[in-house]
Amino acid sequence: SLQDQFDNLEKHTQWGIDVLEKYIKFVKERTEIELSYAKQLRNLSKKYQPKKNSKEEEEYRYTSTRAFLATLNEMNDYAGQHEVISENMTSLITGELTRYVQELKQERKSHFHDGRKAQQHIETCWKQLEASKRRFERDCKEADRAQQYFEKMDADINVTKADVEKARQQAQLRHQMAEDSKAEYSSTLQKFNSEQHEHYYTHIPNIFQKIQEMEERRIVRIGESMKTFAEVDRQVIPIIGKCLDEITKAAESVDHKNDSQMVIEAFKSGFEPPGDVDFEDFTQPMKRTVSESSLSNSRGDGKSEPKFGSKSKGKLWPFIKKNKLMSLLTSPHQPPPPPPASASPSAVPNGPQSPKQQKEPLSHRFNEFMTSKPKIHCFRSLKRGGAGPEDFSNLPPEQRRKKLQQKVDELNRDIQKEMDSRDALTKMKDVYIKNPQMGDAASVDHRLAELGQNIEKLRLEVQKFEGWLAEVEGRLPARTEPRRQSGVYEAQNAAGVNSCAQDRESPDGSYTEEQSQETEMKLPATDFDDEFDDEEPLPTIGTCKALYTFEGQNEGTISVAEGEMLYVIEEDKGDGWTRIRRNEDEEGYVPTSYVEVYLDKNAK
């Protein structure tokens, strides 16, 4: 029936709206995924970005790390395109379809309302037709009964004439009523047929047509939305392609040769390789001499000659006080004497070593040299817990030159800033002089004076660092003064200085500058000597009590009396000597067996 068709159409159109809402939900979830993906990409890019003012920033000077940084930046732009996808889908699909669904629901409701109204109208017409038909039928039956009654009365001779006339009039009345009902029924029937034709051939088809058009528009709209879904993705493909092209370009810019050269420039020291090791002839009964370049001279005889060979390449650590070099900074180059049999001071053999120490194999001393750190602390920069020297003398020549150049450039930038500030204040002062109502010209004099003093200080700093830079680059001769004469130093300390010169590596792993190659060993007494005197002494790590008297006649040793309490500043490193201090100016080595050591557990 027609009502069944309306029910079917109503269910189908509701299903179509449900499909549209399901698609809207699908697109909305897709936009949420795009936003989440973009956020994760941005967080990933941010996570691996170098932190400001950190060591990571320095690492990004290499082409490989710069390419990685470019990749991170492009990934950030890549994430932005996914955000664009989400925004466009939200505005062009979900937003538009949500509004369209609301309009579609209203239109559907209107069409089915019209259909129900038309159906109710035709049903009303049908009821009117049925009522007219029943009335016509009833009147016809009443007319037949009245006619039959009249004929019966007319045939009966016993009935009066008046009764017959009354029956005849009643029959005529009923017959007239039947005729009127027939006319009404005929009119109602004609009207119903017209309404029915209009209903089935005009109203209902129009309603169905509107419902069909509505459904077709819905189908077209969802198809267009699917097309937009693809177009939104396609629109960002060129930009995403550019991001990928930039990543490829960054990858192709990686230059292994350039990176290797940067590493070389960053770590090259400027030192020359050590000279050849001289041959030691053990067949000669004469005293063996070891060349300055030999790695074994770190334990050379304390009586070795105080001159280097003509081809020496030794490096003397700078800023060393001559009178402290041996007595304070090196341990004696001989085994400690054994403890006396008794506590008598006369029993202590403090004279020169009686049996000469047997020479250790060269390979053993080479291994010891490579694996052990020297005990000599001859740098100004080796303050315990302090920073490096101002002139970067703890660095190799090439690294020192770079640091000095950076310092000079930094100071020049500071000078330029101060000069710009001074120029600005000078102009402001001129304005105040010409227009006193704008301000007091004298109010900027104090600041101008401060800027002038700052500029002068910075210029002196620049001159100081440029002088050091010139020395490193060989443009100026090294600063020297008449060398102090020290007969004891020249005669007795040559071997110790030779050892210090050979140990290129300072205790903290840094390097020293190479001094001029001289045939005779000399240490310039520079203005840095006084600075060295001001350095902080080594911290004490405990105390000790002298068990025996030790006279300390050899270089680097210190005399102690039995029972005397002293400070320990360096433990026994396996050579049998312990370094102690009596006061700020008296420190040296004593045999470990001559003292009882009490180390501080909290000492570093």
Q: Which residues of 354-379 are buried (b: 16+ CB within 10 A; e: fewer)?
A: eeeeeeeeeeebeeebeeeebbbbbb
CB 590 within 8 A of CB 332: no
Name the region of 597 (left: φ>0; alpha: ψ -120 to 50; beta: rest). Answer: beta
Whether residue 266 is predicted with pLDDT greater than 50 in this model: the reply is: yes
Confidence of residue 449 (pLDDT cuts 50, 70, 90): confident
| pLDDT for the residue 192 | 92
Same CATH topology for 5-262 and 542-599?
A: no
The DSSP element (H or E) to which 569 belongs, if any, is strand 565-570
| Least confident segment among 54-58, 346-350, 433-437, 584-588 | 346-350
pLDDT single digits (tens) 321-330: 434 444 444 4
Q: What is the pLDDT of residues 568-578, one digit of tens each?
A: 988 888 888 89
Closest Cα partner for 319 from 121, 468, 177? 468
Q: Residue 482 above 60 pLDDT? A: no
* β-pair partners for 577: 591
Q: Token digits for 162?
A: 């008046």
**153 with 198: CB under 8 angstroms?**
no
The stretches of 156-203 forming alpha helices (DSSP H) are: 161-198
Please determine, for residue 54, whether its predicted confidence score (pLDDT) is greater than 80.
no
Mean pLDDT of the chain: 76
Q: Which of the four pLDDT bands, split at 50, 70 and 90, describes residue 361?
A: very low
Residues 543, 314 contacting (CB under 8 angstroms): no
Quickly count: other Cβ atoms within 10 Å of residue 171's Cβ. 22
* Count of all residues that appear for the chain in the document: 604
Cα–Cα distance, 322 to 528 (Å, whole number)? 12
The highest-confidence range among 78-92, 131-145, 367-381, 587-601, by mean pLDDT, is: 78-92
For the ranges 238-242, 478-482, 596-600, the lowest mean pLDDT is seen at 478-482
pLDDT tens for each residue of 525-568: 444 444 444 456 678 888 999 999 998 878 788 999 998 999 99
- Helix (H) or strand (E) run with residue 13 in it: helix 2-47
pLDDT at 384 over 50: no
Question: Could you tell me the two tokens for 350?
Answer: 């403090």
Give the whole-number percent of the chain exceeding pLDDT 70. 71
Nearest in space to 591 (alpha carbons), one of 334, 395, 412, 391: 334
Which of the four pLDDT bands, split at 50, 70 and 90, describes residue 88?
very high
User: Can you tell me the distance from the alpha carbon of 50 to that of 55, in angstroms, rounded to the nearest whole number?
Assistant: 9
What's the confidence (pLDDT) of residue 210?
A: 93
The pair of structure tokens assigned to 346 is: 């006369």
Tell me: pLDDT of 498 over 90: no
CB atoms inside a 10 Å sphere around CB 327: 21
Q: pLDDT value at position 412?
A: 93
The beta-carbon contacts of 486-489 under 8 Å, at least 24 apart in sequence, are 486/322, 486/323, 489/322, 489/323, 489/325, 489/326
- Read off the tokens for 397: 């020549």
Q: Is 542 helix (H, G, I), strand (E, B) or coil?
A: strand
User: Which of 462, 450, 468 is CA-nearest to residue 415?
Assistant: 462
Q: Is the Cα dihedral 41, 47, 48, 53 positive or negative?
A: positive
Quote the pLDDT of residue 430: 85
Q: Is the dihedral of CA 182, 187, 191, 193 positive or negative?
A: positive
How confident is the model over 151-172, as pLDDT tens digits?
888 888 787 888 888 888 988 9
Rounded CA gap, 456 and 460, in Å? Answer: 6
Architecture of domain 5-262: Up-down Bundle (1.20)
Q: Which residue has the tokens 């009404």?
A: 184
Show me where the domains of the chain are located.
Answer: 5-262, 392-473, 542-599
Predicted local confidence at residue 466, as pLDDT: 87
CATH architecture for the domain at 542-599: Roll (2.30)
| pLDDT tens-digit series, residues 103-121 | 999 999 999 999 999 999 9
- For residues 500 and 375, the answer to whether their CB atoms sit within 8 Å is no
CA-to-CA distance for 29 and 23, rounded, in angstroms? 10
Q: Across residues 317-322, what is the average pLDDT? A: 39
The answer to whether 122 and 199 have CB atoms below 8 angstroms apart is yes
Residue pointed to by tokens 């105390």: 543
Q: Which of 6-10, 132-136, 298-302, 332-336 has the lowest mean pLDDT?
A: 298-302
pLDDT at 161: 84
Locate all alpha helices (DSSP H) within 199-254, ordered by sequence: 204-252
Residue 6's nearest CA partner among 119, 149, 126, 166 is 119
249: pLDDT strictly greater than 60: yes
Q: How far apart are CA 604 and CA 598, in angstroms?
A: 14
Provide the pLDDT for residue 448. 86
Q: How much is the pLDDT for 531?
A: 43
Q: What is the predicted pLDDT for the residue at 335?
A: 65
According to DSSP, the residues that pair with 596 across neighbouring strands are 545
More confident: 286 or 198: 198
What is the C-alpha radius of gyration for the chain, rounded to an integer number of angstroms?
57
DSSP string, 319-358: S--HHHHTTTTS--SSPPPPPPSSS-GGG---SS-SSPPP
State how far the alpha carbon of 20 is from the alpha carbons of 124, 212, 243, 391, in Å: 38, 16, 35, 77
